[in-house]
Structure 1
Amino acid sequence: MNKLILLLFLIIAFNGPSWSQLKAFPEAQGFAAYVTGGRGGEVLKVTNLNASGSGSLQAALNQLGSRIIVFDVSGVIEGDVRIPHGDVTIAGQTAPGAGITILGHLYTPYGQDINNIIIRHIRVRPPNPDSDWPPNQHDAIQFSTANHVILDHIDVSHGADETIDLWGGASHITLQHSHLSFPIYDPSNGWTHNKGILNHRPCLDSGNCQSGSRTGGFISIINNVFTHSRNRTPALSIGPAEVINNITYNGREGFVHHNIVDGEFNIIGNQYIEGPNISLLPFWFDPENNTSNVPSSYWLFDNWVEDPNHFNGVVNNPWENNEFVNGYNFYCCGIQANQFNQSTAFDFSSIPGYSAVFRRPSSNLHEFLLDDVGAHPRDVVAQQSITELIQRTGSWRNYRPPDLMAGLTPTAPLEDSDEDGMPDSWEVSQGLSPIDGDDHSTIMPSGYTAIETYINGLASAISDVIFQSGFEN
C-alpha cells in the first residue's frame, strides 16, 4: 500500500463512514441497501462477449473472492450466465456504447446460499423454453436461494414461469428502478405462465421450519415498472416486505401472496393500470394458511387504480372504501379487516441493513419512472414496452424482435493504461495515477473506493441525463 493510499485510509477511518455504514451505492434503498458486493476486491474486466472462457463475464463470475466486474465491450452475450460465488458487483453501466444483454438466463445455483451481490444496468432476455429450461423452470432471473442482493436498473423479460424467481427462501433483496416486461405468452405452445416476481419460505408448506431455514421476506420492490404480466407483480408471502412506487400495466392481480403467509407488508404509492388483455384486480390477498387467524398485517396507502369500468382513484385501506369494496372481491381465505387497521406504515428502520425508501405520490410516477427504469441505453424490447404503457396498447405475447441490438452502437472503451477499470482521464481528474494498477482500492473522501466512485458516478450520470432530456424513444 503506497503512502497516499495509507494516508487516505487513515483519514477515512477516523473521520469518515466505515464500509459497514456505506450503502451499496448512494441511491440504494430498502432491505439490501447496505450490501457490499465486490467492495475492496479485485477489478476484473470483461473483454469479449463469449459465453465462457478467458475474458468472458462467466470467467469473471467463476473466480472466488470479492470482485468488481467492469466491461470493455458492449453487446449481446449468448448463453446462460451462472453466479456460483457471491461478493460480486456487476457494473453493466461500464459497457461502452450499447450496454450488455444476456440472451440467456441469469441464475444462482438452487439450494446454495449465494450472498452479497450488486447488479446494475444489465438486460436479461432468455430464449424460448427447451429441454434444459422447461416452461415450469424458465425464469429469466432465478435467484431462488440467494441472499443480500440488490438489482438496480435491470431490464428483464421473456420468462415463461416467473420473470424473477426468489421462491426458495431468498431474503434481503432489493429490486429498484427496474423494468420487467413481456413474459412469454404463447398458448399455441402451452406457455401461459406469464408472471412477475415470486418470493416464499418453502418450509412453511410442510410446517417444518427448523432453525437455519431460509427465511424469505426482507424484500423491497421499489420504483419499478411491470408490463404484460398476468399477475405476481409481485407475489410476496413473507414479511417484512414492501412494495412502493411501482407501476403495473395490463395484468390481472397486482399484489398477491400465492403461498402460505406470514409477516408485515407495506403497499404504498403504486399505480395499477388496466390493459387490453384482462380485467384488473389490483390486490388479491389470498393466503394458503387454511386458518381463520392468518399471521399477516398490512399498510396500504396512496395506491392509484386506473380501471375505467370499475374504479378510478386512490385506494388506502381497501376495507374502508365502499366504492372499491363494491367493485372488487379482493380477499379470501381467512384475511380479516382488522389486519389492515394500522395507523401508519410499518417501520423497518431497526432491521440491520435496511435503508428507508424515499416515497413519491402515486400521481407523479409516470413523470418519475418512465424515463428512468431499466438498463440504459434502452433496447427495442424496453422501448416497445414503455411505449405500449404510455399509449395503453399492446398485449400478452412472445414479443421477440429479430435484432436486440437495433439502434444501439457499441463504442471503444476509454484508455485505461493500468487496466484497473478506471479511465486515465478520470484518474487524472481525481488525483489518481493512470499507471498505478492498485489505486482502484484507494479510499476516496466519500468513503467509497476509487473504482466504486467511478462506476457509481457513471450510473448516477445516466439518470441525470435521462431526467434532463426527457423520455427516450
Structure 2
Amino acid sequence: MKKMTSIFLSLMCFNMAQAQLKAFPEAEGFAAYASGGRGGVVLKVTNLNASGDGSLQWALNQSGARIIVFAVSGIITGDVHIPHGDVTIAGQTAPGAGITIVGHLYTTYNQDTNNIIIRHIRIRPPDPDSEWPANQHDAIQFSTANTVMLDHIDASHGADETIDMWGGASRITLQWSHLSFPIYDEANGWTHNKGIINHRPCLDSNSCDANDRTGGYISILNNVFTHSRNRTPALSVGPAEVKNNIVYNGRDGFVHHNVAQGDFNIVGNQYIEGPSISLAPFWFDPENGTPTIPTAYWLQDNLVEDPGRFEAVVHNPWQDSNFMNAYTFACCGINANQFNQSGSFDFTVHSFYAASPSHASGFLEDRLLATVGAYPHDIVARQSLQELSTRTGSWRNFRPANLMDSLTATAPPQDTDDDGMPDNWEQANGLNPQNGSDYNTVMPSGYTAIEEYINGLATALGNDVIFEDGFE
C-alpha cells in the first residue's frame, strides 16, 4: 500500500510539474502552455507518402499523446488530417529540407480537437477543386480546434482564408510565422485572398450559451503577412492580441468582419502600403451586432507606411487628426469611448496565458524578415520576403514549378534505439542511445528528454539563420 501511495504521489508531482511548463521555452500568448504530445510516445515519420505506415498521416491517426519527429524531409503531396489532439508535430527535426505539405492541414469540423503544437511546417495547397472549392479552400482549417500553438509556420495558397479558425476555435497562438500569397486568380474567380479569421458563430444570433465554443483567447505575435487583401487578422472575439506583426500589400489590416465583443490589444505592428490596393490599416466593423460584452481596444505604436498619405506611428487613432483625415477606420456604432486610455488590457489574469514582450514597430523588419516561417526558407517564402523588402510584387497565384528549389534533403542523424533522439545527443545529455524507452526521462529543465532535444533543435535553427542581404 505504501508503495502504491508513493507511486501515486510521484506521478501527481510529475503531472503538476509538467502543467507549469510552456509548450517550449519561446512559447507565448494564449496557447503558451499547450502540452501537445508531452509524456506520450514518440512516432517517427520515415517516408513522404500521403498515407500508410511510416507516413505523417499514419502518425497523426494514432490516438493518445504523441510527439512526431521526422527521419525524412521534402514534400508530402496530399491533405493531412489531424483526427486526435494531444500531439506535437516537430517539423524542425526533418533533416535538411524541412517538410512541405502540398495539401490542406485540417482538423475535423465541429469537433473539439484539443492540444496541438506544430512547429516548422510549410503548408501550400494546390488550386481549388470539387473536393476543396474556393469558398472552403484554406491552407490550415482548424475551425473548431482549441489550445493550438502554431510556431514558425509557412502557409500560403488559400483561396478563402490562409488560416481558418472561424467556428469558435480558442486558446490559439500564431507566432513567428509567415502567411503569404493567398490565391488571387480573377480568371477563375478566386479572389478571396485573405489571411486569418476567428469568430464565435453564436454571436450572430445573440444566442450563445455555455455549450458554445468561445472563440477568442487568441494571440497573433511576430508574424509577416504579404499580399492578403485583408483579415490580417480578422478577430471578432476578445480577449485577443495582435502584436509586432508586419502586414504588406493588403487593404484592411486589423478587422472584425463579424459581430464583435471583448478586449483587443493592437500593439507595435507595421502596416505597409503595396502595389495592389490602397491601404486601410484598421477597420473596426462590429456589423451592427449587440453582444452582451462590450468591445474595447488598446492601440499603441502602430507604424503606418503609406507614402503620400500617412507615414507615421499611430496610437489611438481618434486622437490623431492626421490619421483621421487620411482614413475612415470605424463604422456601425464604434466610437472613441471604446478606445482605452490607461494602458493595455492585462491578459495575465488567465493562467494559461504567457505575455509577449513588446518591440518598437520601427525595427520589425530587422527582427522578422529572417526569422519568421519554417526553416529553411523555401522559394515561396524567399520570394515573399524579397517583395516585402523591395516593396514590389502583386496579388497573384504564385506557384513555382519546383518547391524544392535550393533545398537539399540530408540523411538523419544516427539513432540506434529509434527513439527520435540522435545517439550523440543522448550521450552528451546522460542518456543511453541503446535504450529506446528513455525519451520521457524528465530533464533538469522539467521537459522530457525528447522535448529537450526538439526544443533545442528549433532554438539552434533560429540561431543558425544565415543572412545574405537580410535573408536566409
Please, what TM-score do these two structures have when normalized by structure 2? 0.96
Q: What pairs with 1:34-433 in structure 2 (closer than 5 Å)? A: 34-290=33-289, 295-433=294-432
Q: In the aligned structure 1, how far is the partner of 2:38 from the partner of 2:469?
A: 33
Matched residue SS, 2:465: helix
The farther-off stretch of 203-212 and 359-368 is 203-212
Counterpart Cα distance in 2 of 1:290 and 1:199: 16
Partners of 1:139 and 1:73 lie apart in 2 by 26
Whether the 8 Å CA contact 1:291–1:334 is kept in 2: the answer is: no
Q: Distance in 1 between matches of 2:310 and 2:292?
A: 30
Change (3 A) 1:292 1:169: closer
Q: Distance in 2 between matches of 1:293 and 1:351?
A: 21
CA distance in 2: counterparts of 1:351 and 1:389, whole angstroms: 36
Cα offset, 1:449, TM superposition: 0.2
- The answer as to whether partners of 2:260 and 2:291 remain within 8 angstroms in 1 is no
Residue 309 of structure 1 and its aligned partner are, at CA, apart by 2.1
Question: Contact between 1:304 and 1:315, CA under 8 Å: does it hold in 2?
Answer: yes
The 8 Å contact of residues 12 and 443 in structure 1, kept in 2 or not, is answered as: no
Provide the rounded CA distance (Å) in 2 between the counterparts of 1:110 and 1:101.
23
Helix, strand or coil for the counterpart of 2:464?
helix
Cα distance in 1 for partners of 2:392, 2:272 equals: 11
Structure 1 residue runs of 4 or more that deviate by more than 4 Å after TM superposition: 9-14, 290-294, 467-470
Q: Deviations over 1:412-457 (max 9, x none)?
A: 1011000000000100000100000011000000000000000000
Report the 3-state secondary structure (helix = DSSP H, G, I; strand = E; otherwise coil) of the residue aligned with 1:18: helix
Q: Quick one: which amino acid aligns to residue 410 of structure 1?
A: A
Deviation at 1:341, TM superposition (A): 3.1
How far off its partner does 1:352 sit? Answer: 2.3
8 Å Cα contact 1:442/1:450 also seen in 2: yes
Q: In structure 2, what is the Cα distance between the partners aligned to 1:35 and 1:273?
A: 33
Letter of the aligned partner of 2:421 in structure 1? M
Instruction: Tell me the alpha carbon deviations over residues 346-383 of structure 1, each in whole angstroms, 9 at most, x when there is no partner.
Output: 00001121000111110111111011000000100000
CA distance in 2, matches of 1:176, 1:320: 30
Q: Distance in 2 between matches of 1:266 and 1:439?
A: 43
Q: Which amino acid aligns with 2:222?
A: N
Residues 112-132 of structure 1 show CA distances to partners (whole Å, capped at 9, x for unaligned) of 000000000000000000000
Match of 1:180, SS? strand
Shift of 1:290: 4.2
In the TM superposition, what is the alpha-carbon distance from 1:468 to its structure 2 partner?
Answer: 7.9
> In 2, Cα distance between the equivalents of 1:290 and 1:35?
32
Structure 1: distance between partners of 2:112 and 2:293: 29
C-alpha spacing 1:365/1:215, structure 2 compared with 1 (3 Å): same
Q: Secondary structure at the match of 2:400?
A: coil
Distance 2:374 2:316 in 1: 34
Q: Deviations over 1:50-73 (max 9, x none)?
A: 000000000000000000000000
Q: How far apart are residue 289 of structure 1 and its match?
A: 3.0
Letter in 2 for 1:376: Y
Alignment CA distance shift 1:87-1:144 (3 Å):
same
Q: Report if aligned partners of 2:90, 2:118 keep a CA contact under 8 Å in 1.
A: yes
Unmatched tracts of structure 1, length 5 or more: 1-5
Cα deviation for residue 334 of structure 1 reads 0.6
CA distance in 2, matches of 1:29, 1:431: 30
**8 Å Cα contact 1:33/1:354 also seen in 2:** yes
CA contact (8 A) 1:291 1:333 kept: no
Q: Distance in 2 between matches of 1:275 and 1:190?
A: 22
* Contact 1:92/1:99 (<8 A) preserved: yes
Whether the aligned pair in 1 keeps the contact of 2:42 and 2:67 (CA below 8 Å) is yes
Partner of 2:3: none
Match of 1:23? 22
Per-residue deviation, residues 176-197 of structure 1 (Å, max 9, x unmatched): 0000000000000000000000
Work out the CA distance in 2 between the residues paired with 1:365 and 1:282.
Answer: 16
- The normalised TM-score by structure 1 is 0.96
Which letter does structure 2 place at the counterpart of 1:423? Answer: P
Deviation at 1:12, TM superposition (A): 12
8 Å CA contact 1:157–1:163 kept in 2: the answer is yes
RMSD (Å) for aligned C-alpha atoms: 1.9
Structure 2 unaligned regions, length at least 5: 1-5
Question: Does the 8 Å CA contact 1:292/1:334 hold for their aligned counterparts?
Answer: no
What is the rounded CA distance, in whole Å, between the counterparts of 1:387 and 1:217 in structure 2? 33
Counterpart amino acid of residue 238 in structure 2: G
Amino acid at match of 1:123: R
- The structural deviation recorded for 1:270 is 0.1
2:434 alignment partner in structure 1:
435
Q: 2:146, 2:169 within 8 Å by CA — same for their partners in 1?
A: yes
